[in-house]
């Protein structure tokens, strides 16, 4: 097998504060030709093998190749490139995107990228074990709990039932919790004590004293929940993890709502001993990428990763 790390190119774009990413025309073209990942903070396209050299050059989009591309992917999957360094949610997003892409990719593209992704997830697991154990203490879950500041009698409602919601609910295990989702969802799957049916959004809003919206920015969903929560006299605080400050829209005059920027600012205001661990983890990502590029990601190496 040729050196898969050298034959790797990533095109990367950070979303602006309004949540805008790549122009639609560019995004659509990249989605057709590459493994494409979209998160709340960034979008990136991964090209491997013979396709890497053909990755388009776009002035406004960062282009990374070889070990630099692999280091970027490794730092992203380990959460080091997130607004909250070391958080684990992005790893779940990349794994889910990879699982979906494997079912639609051509055999040629899958064969080129498969060993890189298996190596990537194995390296990410090892770097988290060495440097980032316990870093989740300042993840979205703990920061969201600080922003909500629920009392012992709080009733915390989670809107949405995806990976983000499931990663946060453990931080609220001591409180009475429930979930609502636009599609029927089992509360135990989300990690809450109770669940509301899709048709019972009004009851869900009336039950809650604190609300965590884990859904992306969406006009219909945001309008619905802004109206519902405006009518709840018992509501004390809400956090919307799917919107930035410039995206508030319907929530503009909702005084008891915090957004993703509030979460980021809270994290930035807190000092933590994890800073040194994050620094070491970044260096480990760079070192791992360089060593793999130098040694070559061989077929034997790939077999050992698959067996691990």
Q: Are residues 206 and 234 in the same domain?
A: yes
Q: Are residues 16 and 74 in the same domain?
A: yes
Residue 1, domain member (yes or no):
no
| Domain around 156 | 138-269
Q: Are residues 142 and 31 in the same domain?
A: no
CATH (domain of 100): 3.30.460
Look at the chain and report how many structural domains it folds into: 2
Q: Are residues 225 and 143 in the same domain?
A: yes
Q: Are residues 101 and 86 in the same domain?
A: yes
DSSP result, the chain: ---TTTTEEEEEEE--TT---S-HHHHHHHHHHSEEEE-SSEEEEEEEGGGGGGPPP-TTSEEEEHHHHHHHHHHHHTTTTSSSTT-SHHHHHHHHHHHHHHTTS-HHHHHHHHHHHHHHHHHHHHHHHHH-TTGGGGSHHHHHHHHH---TT-EEEEE--SHHHHHHGGGGTTSEEEEE-SS---HHHHT-SEEE-GGGHHHHHHH-SEEEE-SPP-HHHHHHHHHHHHT-TT--EEEETT--GGG-GGGTT-TTEEEHHHHHHHHHHS--THHHHHHHHHHHHHHHHHHHHHH---HHHHHHHHH-
Q: Are residues 177 and 87 in the same domain?
A: no
Q: Are residues 81 and 99 in the same domain?
A: yes
Which residue ranges of the chain lie beneath pLDDT 70?
1-2, 134-138, 270-274, 296-308
Give the per-residue pLDDT at 183. 93
Q: Are residues 116 and 172 in the same domain?
A: no
Residue 103, domain member (yes or no):
yes
């Amino acid at each position: 097998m040729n050196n898969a790390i050298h034959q790797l190119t990533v095109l990367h774009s950070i979303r602006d504060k309004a949540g805008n990413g790549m122009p639609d025309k560019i995004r659509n073209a990249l989605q057709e030709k590459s493994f494409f990942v979209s998160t709340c903070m960034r979008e990136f396209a991964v090209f491997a093998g013979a396709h890497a050299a053909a990755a388009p050059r776009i002035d406004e989009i960062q282009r990374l190749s070889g070990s630099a591309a692999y280091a970027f992917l490794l730092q992203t999957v380990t959460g080091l490139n997130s607004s909250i360094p070391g958080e684990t949610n992005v790893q779940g997003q990349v794994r889910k995107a990879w699982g979906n892409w494997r079912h639609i990719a051509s055999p040629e593209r899958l064969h080129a990228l498969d060993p890189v992704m298996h190596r990537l997830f194995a390296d990410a697991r090892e770097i988290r074990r060495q440097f980032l154990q316990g870093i989740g203490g300042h993840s979205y879950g703990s920061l969201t709990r600080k922003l909500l500041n629920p009392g012992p009698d709080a009733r915390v409602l989670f809107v949405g039932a995806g990976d983000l919601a499931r990663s946060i609910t453990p931080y609220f295990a001591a409180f009475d919790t429930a979930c609502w989702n636009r599609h029927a969802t089992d509360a135990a799957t989300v990690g809450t004590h109770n669940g509301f049916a899709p048709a019972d959004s009004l009851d869900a809003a009336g039950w809650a004293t604190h609300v965590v919206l884990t859904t992306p920015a969406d006009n219909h969903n945001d309008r619905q929940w802004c109206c519902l929560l405006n009518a709840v006299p018992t509501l004390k605080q809400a956090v919307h993890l799917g919107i930035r400050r410039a995206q508030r829209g319907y929530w503009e005059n909702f005084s008891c709502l915090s957004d993703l920027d509030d979460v980021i600012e809270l994290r930035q205001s807190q000092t933590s001993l994890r800073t040194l661990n994050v620094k070491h983890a970044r260096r480990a990502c760079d070192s791992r990428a360089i060593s793999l590029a130098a040694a070559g990601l061989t077929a034997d190496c790939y077999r050992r990763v698959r067996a691990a």
